[in-house]
């Protein structure tokens, strides 16, 4: 059984289930913000200072075959409130979609066929 990705908008209590899961990506980037200083004493050791982390970014890509899937992505991208993304692993991220980039692919069987990339910022990680 396939577990589908979902978008959920807590502001409107609306859920949309992907008709086809993304084929690539979906895990956020992890990292630290570090700056370094040299100590003035003998040996001049390097001292690391950890600052606030940069916001996590999330990118995923895949294929769209149906107009409903395409229209849903456009609608969720235009949504101004943060949404929750739940993936097939059961991880839930509160995100804001920054960019939805569809690229149309010619197909006689699927006139709405597109490959896409979606970029989001994780506001509240898992």
Q: Is residue 1 part of a domain?
A: no
How high is the pLDDT of residue 41?
67
Q: Is residue 15 part of a domain?
A: yes
Residue closest to 53 by CA, chosen among 25, 79, 32: 32
Please list the pLDDT of the chain residue by residue as tens digits (126 residues). 899 999 999 999 999 999 999 999 999 888 888 888 887 767 778 888 888 888 899 999 999 999 999 999 999 999 989 999 999 999 999 999 999 999 999 999 999 999 999 999 999 876
Q: Is residue 26 part of a domain?
A: no
Read off the CATH number of the domain in which 50 is found: 2.40.30.200
The token pair that represents 68 in the structure block = 């409903």
The domain total for the chain is: 1
Q: Is residue 27 part of a domain?
A: no
How high is the pLDDT of residue 126?
64
Q: Is residue 75 part of a domain?
A: yes
Q: Is residue 29 part of a domain?
A: no
Q: Is residue 115 part of a domain?
A: yes
Query: What does the alpha-carbon distance between residue 45 and residue 17 come to, in Å, rounded to a whole number?
Result: 53
pTM of the model: 0.82
Q: Is residue 28 part of a domain?
A: no
How high is the pLDDT of residue 34?
86
Q: For residue 97, count other CB atoms closer than 10 A to its CB.
A: 19
Q: Which domain holds residue 102?
A: 6-21+34-124
How high is the pLDDT of residue 21?
95
């Amino acid at each position: 059984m396939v577990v589908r990705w979902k978008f959920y908008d807590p502001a409107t209590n609306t859920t949309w289930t992907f008709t086809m899961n993304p084929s690539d990506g979906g895990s956020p980037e992890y990292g630290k913000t570090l700056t370094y200083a040299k100590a003035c004493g003998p040996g001049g050791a390097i001292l690391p200072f950890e600052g606030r982390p940069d916001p996590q970014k999330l990118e995923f890509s895949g294929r769209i075959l149906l107009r409903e899937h395409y229209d849903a992505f456009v609608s969720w991208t235009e949504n101004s409130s943060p949404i929750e993304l739940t993936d097939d692993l059961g991880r839930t991220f509160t995100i804001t979609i920054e960019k939805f980039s569809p690229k149309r692919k010619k197909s006689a069987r699927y006139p709405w066929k597109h490959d896409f990339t979606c970029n989001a910022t994780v506001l509240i990680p898992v």
